[in-house]
Each structure stands twice: as structure tokens, then as C-alpha cells.
């Protein structure tokens, strides 16, 4: 395409993050090629992520700090001049002179020169070993100085950081990472005086001191004493001097406005090029953006408002009307591993504000919300030690919070997610100024289908990343709402979800897989849908899990009623209800283990697991166990596993109810109940909760008046505490409530969905479930009761039944043409007096193998 | 009972045929292990009474368990899913259809005939390694 005109010349002075954003924004919008851009970058490298500078100390390469891709610098309309500074500006001639002796003409000039690190005028500030903290070169110089010094002196190194603000704590983190014992010296009476209040500063001090950093607040540095030209001691206006090997000044930044001053542009009282809300200086051909700009009477040291200014200038250069909306000075940082966030009117400067404060010195947490005088509207806040609520709270500044503000300050997960009803104009990503509406739009209009796509499309979450949890929630909500259906189909063979399938099987009284797939599915099933249908048929009490065609539906664990282990052998778990077992029972299990050479281990569910059984041994092992009075423990099934109990009032000095008795009754009642996922129960005899019942799907805790019932707990990958469903129930009501809860779960949960996720996903949550099982809000109570009664009456021990059926037993042959021949590839070695599978190298050296599980049965 | 022979495998010379069992010994839509001259083979009978044979060794867990997997279909392809880590294989060719995030590793497949209800499996004759199929 032919350019309509010769492009106009834009010169950008400065090579920081804001300068890059300006070039990026201009080039992505200037499709007609109206502007050619020259970027003068004083540092010998392209713009980099200065915010992440400290990560340079944790092993990151300078290249890792690159911002975006190289493509921008390959653009023919963009010229990047590295290592070249602007030396003067001729505003009448519209030219810039550069340090390499050139004179560049401009149609528009943008000053993006940023700041330099301020150094207080203390004696000794120019000694070797005194540094500032601003550029990659500063940081690299500091690192090599420390590393060289370490080779010279044979003692731990000591350092000081002058300045306890944001940058100072960054620098302290860098020194600590270099293994330097660090003291932070702050003139103000607290750390981070600009961001946090006194309480927050105290919390921060405790957290930082716990990391081995010494903090001296309210301290003015008087001078730095040198020895052989290098820093060696600091002296203060008051208090003891401090021996140091290195000093970092981090007392703040000053705008680099020399070019503007020399060329006669207006500058602010405390420095900075004065601009209006369009970022224009007093010369209409010259703009200023970022830290060098004095906007609304002050300079701003954060990257987010700088980005906003860059966007405005890009917009104005192309004839747009953008204006600066005012700066969001919110910050969230991880300094020395400590979360600190401050947002909105953090100091309650606006009259009539109410402060809600939670201060927990033990947990190392300080949180404050500033609310309007009616406690409805959020004005700002400070979070120290745990800033997880920041992403949800910051966009709510100036809006009604809804509910008790204190609830937002409670730890982990307790804060409700306002993402669903966040207004479209709420800024979610303040670094890149992305609103909730823009994120929703990227899903609905731009067709993004995941978080990565939305990040690429909107830039949300690409700078500091603190808003990512919120972005993710918005994306998920929007995906679910819009056409992109989150399919509930079970697999390629069934369009129905598990709950729907359960209903049609139950209502139509279907009893075989062939019938079900012919009526409601396609093909011949798979390892997803077959076990689900096997489980549904079992839940509905339609006979033995291995009866007829049903056997082909079962996963190998259910198929041989044992648990497959890594080498192809199985483990066997007899049921020990409530964890109560007689000495005779223990002896019987021990003898079986001994005779078959099995490895034995106590499980977390208070029973005994026997490992290393070959498939053809399983019936022989179970014959012995059944004869000794044991039955299947269903450790292999998606079904009730155990009801764990403490010893309860029978023996315990503190127990108030018979927890063992109840646990046994519950385990015998629900044994064999097939469910969408495994089920674990627990019963504790008093509030001390020794049975860890709240970590179970159903937990019962004894009270003086009866039983408290908790539901929806689990351990595993995402541990959950069970929530209180009902209090002080008598035993009969308790059992009926558990009956209904379990049966309702079995009927309506998704495949492999444990009770915690089911409760969470259930419309109306726990309250709605409580209404169903206690108040019979759906009118299905009697039906659920009947179904459970059917299960209890229909129970038979799967293993005893299998031993009586020669057809079932035939499946346990090792080989169809040699049913008693052991798999000779199984190999074991002895460890701590028991067999375990041999490793690959042990197999190669067959001398270490032991007989393992090949011993014959005695008797 | 029809005779089912994979054409290309039958064409390959030098198969040693082993009579294994009768069809009735195999449960429909389920596998069974067989031991042929020290080689462990997994046999599968599908709902239409076709019989397939693949190696019993699960290439992902190195355990001899393939016959204990769940038999099913993907489109028209008869499949078995490893009982260990759930990789899915084409019963006809042994091709790995779903490696569950791992490198796909195929199963060795074997020729099967069913004549008068007797199931036979053709093993490649002992020869240079890798000479099969």
C-alpha cells in the first residue's frame, strides 16, 4: 500500500517502560503509517521491566526483563537508538541534538526521560561501595562489588539501605539475596510511610525483622565514614554508629527535567515538566509522559499512570481526544516475600471515613479498609502480610461493598468473590488500565476462550499479575454465560451428565449397559462412561457388581475387588468398621499376610492394607478372610470407605458420646453404597475432634446434647473443612439426615465430584441442601429414605458372594490358558522385613530377589 | 463362526500359530491374559465377537496388565484403556490413540483367528529383533 504522505517524525526521548508503551500503542493504532518514531535510549539496551529489577538478583538474566517481543523494534517505522542520549532541544528549529553528534528534526517530541535516584547530601556519599538502585547497571554494579568484597574479607558482609520506602525494601531484598546482613534506615517513624499507616508499618517491621533484616526507623543518616576510599561506617544524628561494607541509597527519585529546563519549558515547583491533562507541555509540539511529567501539580512514581499517559499521547498524536483521568496510586508488592498492598484513600484523608482494622501480630497480618461514613462504600485500604483480597477489593473502590466489610479481611477463601457483579467500568488491571467490561468483551466479542487468550488480547495481568485471580474468575463466568458451552456431556458416548443419566436409568428402570447405551448413547462406551454406569446400576441396588454384562463395565479395581498397584499386583483391605478390631481378627489378618507373603501397612482410615497379591491369589486370600469373619472393605470402589472414630466416651476421660458405637453403626449402614466418588466419614466423641471428622465428606462431632453434623470435607489435593449442616441432633435424626444427604449426593453429583465440590456447585449451596435434607423442600425426603432403606436391606458382602459363584471366580485366573500360573515378571526384594516391588536395577541383578508372594497356603 | 484374519498380517510369512482357548472362555467386552511360549498376550472379545490380541505389557507402567483394561470404542475403532494410567489404544493395530499427555507408544498387535470356536494367535517366528509385523 502506498503511504498517502511522507510520515511525520516523532522523537521520543527516554527508553523506559512508559516510552516503550507509547511506541507500542502508537504503532498498533497508526495503521496508516502517519508517524515514524525514533526512540533515544540512554541505556545500552532496549526498554526493560524496571519493576522486576530485583529479580536480577534471584538468578534472572537481564534478557528476562525484556518487555514484549523484538517485533516492535523490527518495525520499519520505528528506530531504536541504544546508548544515545538527547543533549539539547531547539524548540524553534524543531530539532533534538544527540550525544553521538546528530541533529534529529521532529514534528512532535515526547519527553519520557523518567527519574534519577536521589542521593541525600550526606558526607561520604561518593565513596566506593555507595550505590543507588535504579537501572540494570546500578544493580549489576552492586552485585559485582559485593561479590568481589566477599573474596577479600573473611566475615559476613554488612550492608545498609537508606530509605525504608518501596524502593528501599526492594534494595534490602536484593542485599539479603546476596547474603549481606542488612539494616534498613528510615527517616520517617515507620516503613513505607507513603503507602501504609502506623499499624501497617509496625506489621511490616515485624515481618521484615523476622527475615533477619534490621530496621531503624526515625533515624537520620549524618555521614558515611570511609576507609581506603570505601564505605566502612555510618553515623547517625542519634544512636550508635553502624559498621557497613555497602550502602544503597533509596530515598526517592527526582524527575530528569534538565532538557525541559534548558529549553525554557515550564517545570513544577518540585521538578517535573508541567503538562495539562492531555500530557501537553507549554509547547504544543512537546509532550511529557511518565515520571518526568508534572501532572495535576505532582509527579507520579508508578508505572500504571505512566502507561495511561503514554496511551493518551498516542491517542492525541492520531487526532484523539483522550485525557488523563487521575492516577490510581494503588500498589501491591511482594517485598522480601512480604505482601504489601495499599489502594484508594488508604489514609482515610477524606473526612467522615470509617476504618475497619484487623491486626493479628501472631499471624503477621495487618489489614485495614476505609469505608464511607455509612460503612457501605469502599474508599481504600491497606493490606500487609496477606494481600490476597487486593485483586477483589481494588476495583470496588468508590462502590458499595455489599455485606460486612470485615468479611473481606478474613483469611483465605473467606472473602466473597464480587467478580460476577463487578460493573463493566471497574478497572480490574490498573497497570494496563483494563476494565471488567473489556475483559468480558474479549470473551464475548473477540472470541477468547481462555486466560492466555484474554491476557494477549487485553494485556490484563501482564505487568504485575496481581489481578490474575480476578481476571480468571471473570473469564470463567463469561465463558459459562456466553455461547461457549461448558459441556456437561459425560464422554463421546453420552450427551447426558451423570446426574441426568442417573435419573433416566432410575425412572425408566433400566438394568443393563446395552439397554442404556442403545436408548441414550452411541457406540460401545469407554473407560469414562462404563464405570459410571456400573456405579449407577450398583447405587440403584440392581444386583452384584460382577453379575453378567455388568462385569465388563468395571474398572479393574472393581472387577477383581482389589486395588491395582504399580507392578500389576493388587492390595486387599478387609473392612474394620470404626477401626475396632479384636485380637483374633488382627491375628487372622496377620496370618493371611504371612502365609501369602504380603506387605502390610495401616491405612489412614484405621484399617490394614495387604499389598502384593497376585490376581489368581485373590480368591484364596478372601476365602481365608471371609472364613475369619471379615468382609470387603470396598477400598477399590467409588463407595463408602471408612468411618473413622476416636475411642469416645467408653474409655476417654473427655468423651461425651460413644463415637465408636456410632461409627460402627454408620459404617455397617452405608458399606457398599456406590457413589460418584469415594466417601469417607468420621465420628468424634467430643469437640477435641480426634477423629478429624471435619476432614471427611460427613463428619459427626459429639456434643452434650447430641451430635453436630458437618458435610463436604476432604483431604487430598484440595483439602476442605466440612461445614456445619445441623446441630445437636439426636441419633435417629442424625442418621436420617445423613441418609438423605448421601442419597441426594449419589443421585445428583457429577462423575468424580466429591461432596465438597458438589455442595459448592449446588444451586443455593449448603443452605439449599440443608432445606432438602432437613425440611424436605423438594418433597423427595421419603423417596431418599426409601432408597437408602433399599440399600441397607439389599447389602451383601461382594467377596462372599463372589466366592460362591464359580463363573465369577473364573475371572481371577492369571492366564486364560494357564489359570494358576503366576506372572513370572513380578519380583520383590525385602525392605525393613517386608517385601516390596524390585526396582529396575534390582531386577537386572536378580540375586537380590526374594520369594515374595509365591509361598503356598498352609492348612 | 466366521474366520477373522487381518489380511496384511496373514500375508506376512513365518507366523507361529498357538491355539489358546475357546471363544466361550472369553467374556464379551473384556480382556483375558494368555501365556504363549513365555510371551504374555492380551486377548479381547468385543461385542460383535471379534477377537483381538495385543501385548500384555503396558508400555507406560511396564506391568503386565493390558488385558485388565476397559474395552470400548472411539468412533468405529474398538479400543482398550490401560488400567494403570488410562492411555487408550486401537485394538486392531495397537496404535496409541490417547497418550494422556505422554509420548504415544504403540502396542504390538498379533494376528488372531477363530475357527470352529477355537481362538488362535499368530506370533512372529523367532527371528531378528524388530522383525514383527
A774-790 pLDDT tens trace? 999 888 999 999 999 99
A817 has a chain B CB within 8 A of its CB: yes
| Cβ-Cβ contacts under 8 Å for A779 (sequence gap 6 or more) | none
Residue A566 pLDDT: 93
CB contact under 8 A, A525 and B72: yes
Mean pLDDT of A379-401: 81
Q: Around Cβ A547, how many Cβ atoms within 10 Å?
A: 15
Annotate A301-352 with DSSP letters as a single string. -SHHHHHHHHHHHHHHHTT-----------EEEEETTEEEEEEESTT--STT
A790 has a chain B CB within 8 A of its CB: no
Residue B132 pLDDT: 42
Report the candidate in A407, A318, A321 with the shortest Cα–Cα distance to residue A358.
Answer: A407
Which residues, in sequence order, are bridge partners of residue B15? Answer: B124
Lowest model confidence (mean pLDDT) among A317-326, A539-548, A634-643, A839-848: A839-848
Phi (first) and psi of residue A756, to 5 degrees: -60, -50
Rounded CA-CA distance B1/A345 in Å is 84
Residue A55 pLDDT: 67
Rounded CA-CA distance A831/A838 in Å is 10
Q: Which CATH superfamily is domain A638-797 in?
A: Sulfite Reductase Hemoprotein, domain 1 (3.30.413.10)
Q: CA of A589 to nearest chain B CA: how many angstroms apart? A: 27
If one compares A509 and A448, the residue with the highest pLDDT of the two is A509
Residue B2 is given by DSSP the state -
Rounded CA-CA distance A472/A479 in Å is 10
CB contact under 8 A, A525 and B83: no
Rounded CA-CA distance A395/A662 in Å is 50
Q: Are B104 and B117 in contact (CB under 8 A)?
A: no
pLDDT in tens, B23-82: 999 999 999 999 999 999 999 999 999 999 999 999 999 999 999 999 999 999 999 999
Picking from B51, B71, B72, B121 by the largest number of A CB atoms within 10 A of its own CB, the best residue to mutate is B72
Residue B12 pLDDT: 53
Q: In B, which residues are within 8 Å of A823 by CB distance?
A: 40, 64
Lowest model confidence (mean pLDDT) among A94-98, A191-195, A525-529: A191-195
Q: In B, which residues are within 8 Å of A529 by CB distance?
A: 72
Residue B6 pLDDT: 52
If one compares A345 and A610, the residue with the highest pLDDT of the two is A610
Mean pLDDT of A62-70: 69
**For residue A470, what is its C-alpha cell?**
480476578
Ordered structural domains, chain B, with CATH: 23-112 (2.102.10.10)
Rounded CA-CA distance B113/A284 in Å is 90
Q: In B, which residues are within 8 Å of A817 by CB distance?
A: 20-21, 34-36
CB contact under 8 A, A523 and B72: yes
Closest CB to B73 among A524, A555, A567:
A524
Could you say which architecture CATH assigns to the domain A330-415? 2-Layer Sandwich (3.30)
User: Taking the C-alpha atoms of A800, A802, A804 and A808 in order, what is their torsion angle to the nearest 10 degrees?
Assistant: -170
Rounded CA-CA distance A305/A322 in Å is 14
Q: CA of B18 to nearest chain A CA: how many angstroms apart? A: 11
CB contact under 8 A, A526 and B74: yes
pLDDT in tens, A307-330: 889 989 999 999 888 888 777 777
Give the strand pairing for A230-236 and A221-227. antiparallel
Q: CA of B91 to nearest chain A CA: how many angstroms apart? A: 13
Mean pLDDT of A95-100: 92
Instruction: Determine if the pTM surpasses 0.90.
Output: no
Lowest model confidence (mean pLDDT) among A370-384, A558-572, A655-669, A689-703: A370-384
Lowest model confidence (mean pLDDT) among A282-291, A378-387, A530-539, A636-645: A378-387
Quick check: A854 pLDDT over 90?
no
Rounded CA-CA distance A523/A532 in Å is 16
Mean pLDDT of A115-143: 87
Q: What percent of chain A has pLDDT over 90?
A: 45
What's the pLDDT band for A823 if we cut at 50, 70, 90?
Answer: very high
ipTM beyond cut 0.95 = no
CB contact under 8 A, A816 and B79: no
Mean pLDDT of A77-92: 91
Lowest model confidence (mean pLDDT) among A4-13, A229-238, A844-853: A844-853
Rounded CA-CA distance A608/A580 in Å is 11
CB contact under 8 A, A527 and B69: yes
Closest CB to A816 among B32, B62, B63:
B32
Report the candidate in A723, A732, A703, A735 with the shortest Cα–Cα distance to residue A767.
Answer: A723
Mean pLDDT of A100-115: 92
Rounded CA-CA distance B122/B112 in Å is 6
Q: CA of B121 to nearest chain A CA: how many angstroms apart? A: 12
From the options 3.50.50.60, 3.30.56.10, 3.40.50.300, 2.40.50.100, give the CATH code of A8-116+255-317.
Answer: 3.50.50.60
Residue A484 pLDDT: 63
Quick check: A179 pLDDT over 80?
yes
Mean pLDDT of A759-767: 84
If one compares A826 and A451, the residue with the highest pLDDT of the two is A826
Q: CA of A556 to nearest chain B CA: how many angstroms apart? A: 6
All CATH 3.50.50.60 domain ranges in chain A, comma separated: 8-116+255-317, 130-251
Quick check: A853 pLDDT over 60?
no
A530 has a chain B CB within 8 A of its CB: yes
Rounded CA-CA distance A232/A226 in Å is 5
Q: CA of B8 to nearest chain A CA: how many angstroms apart? A: 26
Rounded CA-CA distance A408/A390 in Å is 10
| Cβ-Cβ contacts under 8 Å for A743 (sequence gap 6 or more) | A784, A787, A788
What's the pLDDT band for A712 if we cut at 50, 70, 90?
Answer: very high
pLDDT in tens, A539-598: 888 788 888 888 889 999 999 999 999 999 999 999 999 999 999 999 999 999 999 999
Residue A416 pLDDT: 43
Mean pLDDT of A606-621: 96
CB contact under 8 A, A568 and B27: no
First to last CA, chain B: 26
What's the pLDDT band for A491 if we cut at 50, 70, 90?
Answer: confident
Give the strand pairing for A115-117 and A108-111. unpaired
Could you say which architecture CATH assigns to the domain A130-251? 3-Layer(bba) Sandwich (3.50)
Highest mean pLDDT: which of A249-263, A306-320, A652-666?
A652-666
All CATH 3.30.390.30 domain ranges in chain A, comma separated: 330-415
A559 has a chain B CB within 8 A of its CB: yes
CB contact under 8 A, B33 and A492: no
A531 has a chain B CB within 8 A of its CB: yes
Closest CB to B71 among A552, A564, A823:
A552
Could you say which architecture CATH assigns to the domain A417-482? Orthogonal Bundle (1.10)
Report the candidate in A852, A614, A839, A567 with the shortest Cα–Cα distance to residue B62.
Answer: A567
A751 has a chain B CB within 8 A of its CB: no
What's the pLDDT band for B1 if we cut at 50, 70, 90?
Answer: very low
Distances (CA, A) of A522 to A512, A519, A763: 15, 9, 30
Q: In B, which residues are within 8 Å of A549 by CB distance?
A: 28-29
Rounded CA-CA distance A147/A150 in Å is 5
Residue A486 pLDDT: 53
Which residues, in sequence order, are bridge partners of residue A11? Answer: A38, A109
Q: What percent of chain B has pLDDT over 70?
A: 84
What's the pLDDT band for A466 if we cut at 50, 70, 90?
Answer: low
Mean pLDDT of A481-501: 78
Q: Are A206 and A361 in contact (CB under 8 A)?
A: yes
Residue A846 pLDDT: 64
Rounded CA-CA distance A484/A479 in Å is 6
All CATH 3.30.413.10 domain ranges in chain A, comma separated: 638-797
If one compares A431 and A731, the residue with the highest pLDDT of the two is A731
**Cβ-defined contacts of A768-771 (< 8 Å, 24+):** A769/A711, A769/A725, A769/A741, A769/A744, A770/A725, A770/A726
Quick check: A48 pLDDT over 60?
yes
First to last CA, chain A: 94
Positive or negative: CA dihedral A768, A771, A776, A777: negative
E strands, A533-626, are 563-564, 570-572, 599-602, 608-613
Distances (CA, A) of A428 to A300, A333, A340, A432, A437: 20, 16, 18, 9, 9
All CATH 1.10.10.1100 domain ranges in chain A, comma separated: 417-482
Mean pLDDT of A447-455: 76
Residue A234 pLDDT: 92
**Per CB distance under 8 Å, which residues of B are interface residues toward A?**
20-21, 25-30, 32-36, 40, 43, 46-47, 58, 61-65, 68-75, 78-79, 81, 83-84, 86, 88
Quick check: A443 pLDDT over 60?
yes
What's the pLDDT band for A395 if we cut at 50, 70, 90?
Answer: confident
Mean pLDDT of A804-831: 91
CB contact under 8 A, A524 and B25: no
Q: In B, which residues are within 8 Å of A560 by CB distance?
A: 68
Phi (first) and psi of residue A431, to 5 degrees: -60, -45
Q: What percent of chain A has pLDDT over 70?
A: 92
Rounded CA-CA distance A579/A110 in Å is 76
What strands, in cross-sheet order, belong to the sheet with A698-702? A640-645, A679-684, A698-702, A707-711, A723-729
What strands, in cross-sheet order, belong to the sheet with B51-55? B15-22, B118-124, B109-115, B51-55, B39-45, B30-36
Q: CA of B75 to nearest chain A CA: how many angstroms apart? A: 7
Closest CB to B74 among A492, A529, A555:
A492
Residue A829 pLDDT: 92
Q: In B, which residues are within 8 Å of A571 by CB distance?
A: none
Residue A849 pLDDT: 62
Amino acid at each position: 500500500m502506498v503511504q498517502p504522505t511522507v510520515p511525520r517524525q516523532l522523537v521520543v526521548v527516554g527508553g523506559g517502560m512508559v516510552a516503550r508503551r507509547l511506541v507500542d500503542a502508537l504503532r498498533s493504532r497508526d495503521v496508516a503509517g502517519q508517524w515514524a518514531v525514533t526512540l533515544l535510549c540512554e541505556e545500552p539496551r532496549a526498554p526493560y521491566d524496571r519493576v522486576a529489577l530485583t529479580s536480577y538478583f534471584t538468578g534472572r538474566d537481564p534478557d528476562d526483563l525484556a518487555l514484549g517481543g523484538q517485533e516492535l523494534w523490527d518495525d520499519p517505522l520505528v528506530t531504536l537508538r541504544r546508548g544515545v542520549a538527547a543533549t539539547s532541544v531547539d524548540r524553534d528549529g524543531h530539532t533534538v541534538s544527540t550525544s553521538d553528534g546528530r541533529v534529529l528534526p521532529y514534528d512532535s517530541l515526547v519527553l519520557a526521560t523518567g527519574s534519577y535516584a536521589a542521593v541525600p547530601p550526606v558526607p561520604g556519599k561518593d565513596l566506593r561501595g555507595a550505590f543507588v538502585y535504579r537501572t540494570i547497571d546500578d544493580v549489576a554494579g552492586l552485585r559485582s562489588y559485593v561479590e568481589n568484597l566477599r573474596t577479600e574479607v573473611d566475615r559476613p558482609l554488612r550492608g545498609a539501605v537508606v530509605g525504608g520506602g518501596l524502593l528501599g525494601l526492594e534494595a534490602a531484598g536484593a542485599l539479603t539475596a546476596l547474603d549481606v546482613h542488612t539494616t534498613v534506615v528510615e527517616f520517617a517513624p515507620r516503613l513505607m510511610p507513603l503507602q501504609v499507616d502506623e499499624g501497617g508499618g509496625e506489621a511490616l517491621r515485624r515481618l521484615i525483622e523476622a527475615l533477619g533484616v534490621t530496621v531503624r526507623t526515625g533515624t537520620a543518616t549524618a555521614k558515611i565514614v570511609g576507609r581506603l576510599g570505601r564505605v566502612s561506617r555510618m553515623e547517625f544524628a542519634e544512636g550508635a554508629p553502624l559498621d557497613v561494607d555497602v550502602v544503597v541509597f533509596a530515598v526517592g527519585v527526582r524527575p530528569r527535567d534538565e532538557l525541559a529546563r534548558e529549553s525554557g519549558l515550564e517545570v513544577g515547583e518540585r521538578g517535573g515538566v508541567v503538562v495539562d491533562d492531555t500530557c501537553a507541555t507549554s509547547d504544543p509540539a512537546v509532550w511529557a509522559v511518565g515520571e518526568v511529567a508534572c501532572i495535576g501539580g505532582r509527579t507520579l512514581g508508578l508505572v500504571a499512570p505512566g502507561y495511561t499517559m503514554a496511551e493518551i499521547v498516542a491517542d492525541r498524536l492520531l487526532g484523539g481526544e483522550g485525557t488523563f483521568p487521575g492516577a490510581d496510586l494503588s500498589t501491591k508488592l511482594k517485598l522480601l516475600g512480604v505482601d504489601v498492598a495499599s489502594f484508594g484513600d488508604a489514609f482515610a484523608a477524606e473526612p467522615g471515613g470509617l476504618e475497619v482494622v484487623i491486626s493479628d501480630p501472631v499471624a503477621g497480618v495487618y489489614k485495614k479498609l476505609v469505608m464511607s461514613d455509612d460503612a457501605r462504600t469502599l474508599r481504600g485500604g491497606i493490606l500487609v502480610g496477606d494481600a490476597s483480597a487486593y485483586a477483589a477489593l481494588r476495583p470496588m473502590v468508590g462502590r458499595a461493598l455489599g455485606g460486612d466489610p470485615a468479611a473481606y479481611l478474613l483469611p483465605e477463601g473467606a472473602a466473597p468473590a464480587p467478580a460476577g457483579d463487578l460493573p463493566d467500568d471497574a478497572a480490574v488491571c490498573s497497570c494496563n488500565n483494563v476494565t471488567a467490561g473489556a475483559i468480558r468483551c474479549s470473551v464475548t466479542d473477540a472470541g477468547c476462550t481462555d486466560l492466555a487468550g484474554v491476557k494477549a488480547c487485553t494485556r490484563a495481568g501482564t505487568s504485575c499479575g496481581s489481578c490474575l485471580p480476578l481476571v480468571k474468575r471473570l473469564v470463567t463466568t463469561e465463558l459459562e454465560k456466553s455461547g461457549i458451552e461448558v459441556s456437561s456431556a459425560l464422554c463421546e458416548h453420552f450427551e447426558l451428565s451423570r446426574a441426568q443419566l442417573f435419573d433416566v436409568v432410575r425412572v425408566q428402570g433400566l438394568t443393563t449397559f446395552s439397554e442404556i447405551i442403545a436408548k441414550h448413547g452411541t457406540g460401545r462406551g469407554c473407560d469414562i462412561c462404563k464405570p459410571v454406569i456400573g456405579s449407577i446400576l450398583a447405587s440403584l441396588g440392581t444386583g452384584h457388581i460382577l453379575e453378567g454384562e455388568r462385569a465388563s463395565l468395571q474398572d479393574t479395581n472393581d472387577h477383581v475387588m482389589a486395588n491395582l498397584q504399580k507392578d500389576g499386583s493388587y492390595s486387599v483391605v478387609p473392612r474394620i468398621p470404626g477401626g475396632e478390631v479384636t485380637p483374633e481378627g488382627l491375628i487372622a489378618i496377620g496370618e493371611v499376610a504371612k502365609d501369602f507373603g504380603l506387605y502390610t501397612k495401616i491405612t489412614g482410615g484405621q484399617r490394614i492394607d495387604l499389598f502384593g497379591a497376585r490376581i489368581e491369589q485373590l480368591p484364596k486370600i478372601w476365602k481365608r478372610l471371609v472364613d475369619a469373619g471379615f468382609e470387603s472393605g470396598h477400598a477399590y470402589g467409588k463407595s463408602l470407605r471408612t468411618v473413622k472414630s476416636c475411642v469416645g466416651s467408653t474409655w476417654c476421660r473427655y468423651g461425651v458420646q460413644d463415637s465408636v458405637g456410632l461409627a460402627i453403626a454408620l459404617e455397617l449402614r452405608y458399606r457398599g453404597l456406590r457413589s460418584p466418588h469415594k466417601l469417607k466419614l468420621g465420628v468424634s466423641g467430643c469437640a477435641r475432634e480426634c477423629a478429624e471428622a471435619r476432614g471427611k465428606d460427613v463428619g459427626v462431632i459429639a456434643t452434650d446434647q447430641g451430635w453436630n453434623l458437618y458435610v463436604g470435607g476432604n483431604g487430598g489435593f484440595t483439602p476442605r473443612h466440612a461445614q456445619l449442616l445441623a446441630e445437636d441432633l439426636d441419633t435417629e435424626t442424625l442418621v436420617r439426615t445423613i441418609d438423605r444427604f448421601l442419597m441426594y449426593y449419589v443421585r445428583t453429583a457429577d462423575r468424580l465430584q466429591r461432596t465438597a465440590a458438589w455442595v459448592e456447585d449446588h444451586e443455593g449451596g449448603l443452605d439449599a441442601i440443608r432445606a432438602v435434607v432437613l425440611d424436605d423442600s423438594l418433597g423427595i425426603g421419603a423417596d431418599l429414605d426409601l432408597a437408602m432403606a433399599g440399600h441397607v436391606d439389599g447389602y451383601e458382602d461382594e467377596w462372599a458372594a463372589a466366592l460362591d459363584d464359580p463363573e465369577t471366580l473364573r475371572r481371577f485366573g492369571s492366564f486364560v490358558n494357564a489359570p494358576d500360573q503366576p506372572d513370572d515378571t513380578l519380583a520383590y526384594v525385602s525392605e525393613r522385613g517386608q517385601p516390596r516391588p524390585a526396582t529396575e536395577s534390582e531386577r537386572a541383578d536378580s540375586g537380590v530377589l526374594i520369594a515374595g508372594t509365591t509361598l503356598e497356603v498352609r492348612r | 463362526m466366521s474366520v477373522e484374519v487381518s489380511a496384511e498380517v496373514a500375508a506376512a510369512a513365518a507366523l507361529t500359530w498357538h491355539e489358546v482357548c475357546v471363544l466361550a472362555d472369553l467374556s464379551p467386552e473384556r480382556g483375558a491374559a494368555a501365556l504363549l511360549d513365555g510371551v504374555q498376550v492380551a486377548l479381547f472379545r468385543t461385542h460383535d465377537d471379534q477377537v483381538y490380541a495385543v501385548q500384555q505389557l503396558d508400555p507406560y507402567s511396564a506391568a503386565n496388565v493390558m488385558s485388565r483394561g476397559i474395552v470400548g470404542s472411539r468412533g468405529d475403532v474398538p479400543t482398550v484403556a490401560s488400567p494403570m494410567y488410562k492411555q487408550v489404544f486401537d485394538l486392531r493395530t495397537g496404535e496409541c490413540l490417547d497418550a494422556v499427555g505422554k509420548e504415544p507408544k504403540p502396542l504390538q498387535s498379533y494376528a488372531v483367528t477363530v475357527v470352529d470356536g477355537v481362538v488362535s494367535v499368530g506370533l512372529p517366528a523367532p527371528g531378528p529383533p524388530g522383525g514383527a509385523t
